[in-house]
Structure 1
Amino acid sequence: MTELYLEDFTPGQVFHSGRLRVTAEAIVAYAAEFDPQPFHLDDAAAHGTMFGGLAASGWHTAALTMKLLVGSPFRPRGGIIGGGMEELRWPRPLRPGDEIRVEIEVLEVRPSKTRPQQGMLRVRCTTLNQDGQPVQVIVPNLVVPRRP
């Protein structure tokens, strides 16, 4: 896939990732290592919580989103390098059996005033489940090289 320079992006442009199915085993394995809370580790224990059943850690959702972003046609030259996060929300839980995809919308393209070789790209990345419902919304600012 072609890597894109800052000048290749325009506000309103939309990119789509592939899809990824999430298993209960993956949810539990991630939680056991990085976020060992009962609603991420055990379905029975999770039933007594606000989630009402096993739910992936938000950080697991973020990691899966990154995996989908890196494999998508959204290819800033040099990689997806963050320059800060404006928004991070998990509007609903990611569940076992969910199949997710990411929609990436370019919100703003801003050449740097102090570093002429680069600029900032502001995007909204919405991670959607199989029903088209958002499970995560992030709005990062990304550092992207300008065309030499």
Structure 2
Amino acid sequence: MRTFEDLPVGFSQALGPLHVSKDDILAFAREYDAQPFHVDEVAAKDSFIGTLIASGWHSCSLNMRLVADGLLLDSSAMGAPGIEEVKWVRPVRPGDTLRSHVQVLESRVSKSRPTLGLVKLHFDMVNQADETVLTQANWVMFATRDAEPFASEGSKVLTAVAGSLPGDHPPREIPPISSNPYFEDLVIGETDELGSYPFTPDEIVRFAKQYDPQRFHVDAEAAKSSLFGALCASGWHTASVWMKHMVGHRDRIRAYALAHGQRPARLGPSPGFSNLKWLKPVYAGDTITYRTTVTAKRPSASRPGWGLVFHHNTGTNQNGEEVFAFDGMVFWERRG
């Protein structure tokens, strides 16, 4: 079993392959990201890409599966505090076969917990034509060879590690966004609540078995002796549910606009995100409330009629603790 010492700077490995079918793309998108270009082949023809493509969050989850199978399941991995950056370079399409190339960029022992090491990994996920579809950089925690068993320290460790990463945004109390905003209508600093979601044990295990089968996500008994002390959701599950609520929020805006004789503003794809932090574990039984805040916007130089909108997003549990945050961007339609 690989421990922290087995992952020095310069270590690299090829992971995969993993085939992606149209049914795989549709199943994920219907549950978590039901935008037309992910679920409807006819509607996708009128999109930026012109064909059915996988959700970006599905691409991240597929990379997680490659990493889990090829590296983490046979290691002392103790979870990840977050993701520095993801770029969705090319779309993942039905029939693609994916591989991921991982390299260790940095490695250091935790000052406060000398039996816990932090390893910074860089991933390039490629398709069958060796074209890069996703790049990702993030830290992963690994126990050292002489580490004693960890238990019930997940919240403290994640908070300490994630809190040291860049990109903090202080909480703000700000009014909701307008009912059918186009690019020009968006006001920097405005926010909206997207909805809440209860994470049940069955849902946590179901997602993790497909995309992130580490023991603390799939086995409640084994999770007791992990860093987290109990069954908790995969970070990609937490993120995918954010997307599910964002799509639901946009669907409500669309329905409102149509009911009032308006044409809904369209959203395009996202180029990627940064500063994703899993600040605390999401345990079975937790209810997470998601919010999004507009932080910046600019007209698109490459796509007339569109602008690029930047947003900060959070998830808060039933105790008022922030468990999840990231900075995203999306193409947003301008008024004609």
Match of 2:84 in 1: 86
Indicate how the Cα distance of structure 1 residues 129 and 24 shifts in structure 2: closer, same or farther if over 3 A, else same.
same
Give the deviation of 1:78 after TM superposition: 3.1
Indicate how the Cα distance of structure 1 residues 31 and 80 shifts in structure 2: closer, same or farther if over 3 A, else same.
farther
Give the deviation of 1:40 after TM superposition: 0.1
Measure the CA separation in 2 of the matches of 1:42 and 1:98. 18
Measure the CA separation in 2 of the matches of 1:15 and 1:80. 20
The one-letter amino acid paired with 1:64 is: L
Alignment of 1:86-125 (within 5 A): 86-125=84-123
Give the deviation of 1:80 after TM superposition: 5.9
Contact 2:3 2:77 in 1 (8 A): no
Q: What is the CA deviation profile of residues 73-99 of structure 1, one whole-angstrom value per residue up to 9, with x for unaligned ones?
A: 455733361122111111110001110
**Please, what is the CA RMSD of the aligned residues?**
1.4
Measure the CA separation in 2 of the matches of 1:56 and 1:91. 13
Match of 2:130 in 1: 132
Indicate how the Cα distance of structure 1 residues 10 and 99 shifts in structure 2: closer, same or farther if over 3 A, else same.
same
Match of 2:211 in 1: none
Gaps of 5+ in 1: none
The one-letter amino acid paired with 2:144 is: R
Give the deviation of 1:54 after TM superposition: 0.3
Alignment of 1:1-148 (within 5 A): 3-73=1-71, 77-79=75-77, 81-148=79-146
The one-letter amino acid paired with 1:122 is: K
Indicate how the Cα distance of structure 1 residues 108 and 136 shifts in structure 2: closer, same or farther if over 3 A, else same.
same
SS in 1 for 2:47: coil
The one-letter amino acid paired with 1:59 is: W
SS in 1 for 2:42: helix
Indicate how the Cα distance of structure 1 residues 76 and 125 shifts in structure 2: closer, same or farther if over 3 A, else same.
farther
User: Which structure is richer in relative contact order (CA contacts within 8 A, separation 6 or more)?
Assistant: 1
Contact 1:82 1:142 in 2 (8 A): yes
SS in 1 for 2:58: helix
Measure the CA separation in 1 of the matches of 2:112 and 2:77. 21
Measure the CA separation in 2 of the matches of 1:62 and 1:103. 14
Gaps of 5+ in 2: 147-336
The TM-score with structure 1 as length reference comes to: 0.92
